[in-house]
Amino acid sequence: MKRDMSTFWVQYKEKGEVEARDELIIHYAQLVKYVANRLAIHLSSVVEIDELISYGIEGLIDAIEKFDHKRNIKFETYAITRIRGSIIDGLRAMDWVPVSVRQKSKEVEKTYAILEARLGRAASDMEVAQELGINQEDLAGLLREVAGTTIISLDDFLPGEDGEDKRKRIIDMLEDQNGINAIELIELAEVKELLSRSITRLPEKEKMVTCLYYYEGLTLKEIGATLNLSESRISQLHTKAILRLRGSLSKKKYLIV
């Protein structure tokens, strides 16, 4: 039976009862495990799930502290964004992806962008491999190697006018609707439209993986069961989809990391 947590929110937010906060953390800790397992689609074995959960707990606590229980907003939706951001920030601080791997990822991303602009359609694995001067088996290995660079975050999504350090974060814009100005709304709408068009042009299987992962919220294992494909194959499809999307968006000077 699902517990009614409203009493604990009142006890903590309005009365400052620490025990109520602890109950909230314990109850919503399952969200951390859910987000950590979803992010595992990007990660290699060098990053332990316990590390992700540790970063995620920090995000959960931050979400509980900042959540306004009086607003008509579902806490789970709010918290998942915070937890995900906290895990990604932790990974960035670790700098766990070597520079050489990031460079390879950028090279593949650029190759997708150039090829698909030239062809006017999604490039096949054979075409990408030929452009890179490797065979398809090597391309598959390269995609496995760069999979960790395809983490997508709401952080760093919109580039600012004054350089990389002043880019607008969608998460910040979503937190306070009164703080969004007309220019930011237009920028956000343009990014959404461009991303939507880019997803539409993906090969069918990559499109399905993208939709099931980002829109339906399925895990890697669940997507594999749905499409009757192995988890490694789903991971590869996801990596290719994100590299294509980043290549497409980079042509418009938008950035996904």
Residue 31 lies in a domain: yes
The pLDDT of residue 254 is 38
Long-range interactions of 31-34: CB distance < 8 A, separation 24+: 31/56, 31/60, 31/76, 31/79, 31/80, 31/83, 32/56, 32/57, 32/59, 32/60, 32/83, 34/80
Do residue 122 and residue 179 come from a single domain? yes
Mean pLDDT computed over 105-111: 92
Residue 148 lies in a domain: yes
Which range of residues forms the domain containing residue 14?
A: 6-94
The pLDDT of residue 24 is 95
pLDDT single digits (tens) 190-231: 666 667 778 888 999 999 998 888 888 888 888 999 999 998
Of 8-17, 86-95, 116-125, 155-164, the poorest mean pLDDT is in 155-164
Do residue 121 and residue 173 come from a single domain? yes
CA pair distance 119, 200, nearest whole angstrom: 16
Do residue 83 and residue 145 come from a single domain? no
CA pair distance 231, 236, nearest whole angstrom: 9
* Dihedral, 215, 146, 152, 38 alpha carbons, nearest 10: 50
The pLDDT of residue 216 is 83
- The DSSP bridge partners found for residue 168 are 158
The total number of structural domains that make up the chain: 2
Do residue 124 and residue 90 come from a single domain? no
Do residue 123 and residue 67 come from a single domain? no
Residue 83 lies in a domain: yes
Residue 116 lies in a domain: yes
Q: Is the pLDDT of residue 79 over 80?
A: yes
CATH of the domain at 53: 1.10.1740.10
Tell me 236's DSSP state: H
Q: Is the pLDDT of residue 186 over 70?
A: no
pLDDT single digits (tens) 205-214: 999 998 888 8
The pLDDT of residue 83 is 93
Nearest to 160 by CA among 70, 57, 23, 255: 255
Of 76, 94, 112, the position where a domain reaches its end is 94
CA pair distance 234, 206, nearest whole angstrom: 9
Do residue 151 and residue 184 come from a single domain? yes
CATH of the domain at 135: 1.10.10.10
The pLDDT of residue 45 is 55
Nearest to 108 by CA among 153, 138, 85, 82: 138
Of 37, 59, 94, the position where a domain reaches its end is 94
Mean pLDDT computed over 19-47: 84
Most confident of 43-57, 82-96, 128-142, 202-216: 128-142
Residue 70 lies in a domain: yes
Of 94, 126, 150, the position where a domain reaches its end is 94
Residue 255 lies in a domain: no
Q: Taking the complete model, does pTM exceed 0.75, yes or no? A: no
Do residue 111 and residue 222 come from a single domain? yes
Q: Is the pLDDT of residue 170 over 50?
A: no
String of DSSP letters for 115-153: HHHHHSSPPPHHHHHHHHTS-HHHHHHHHHHHGGGG---
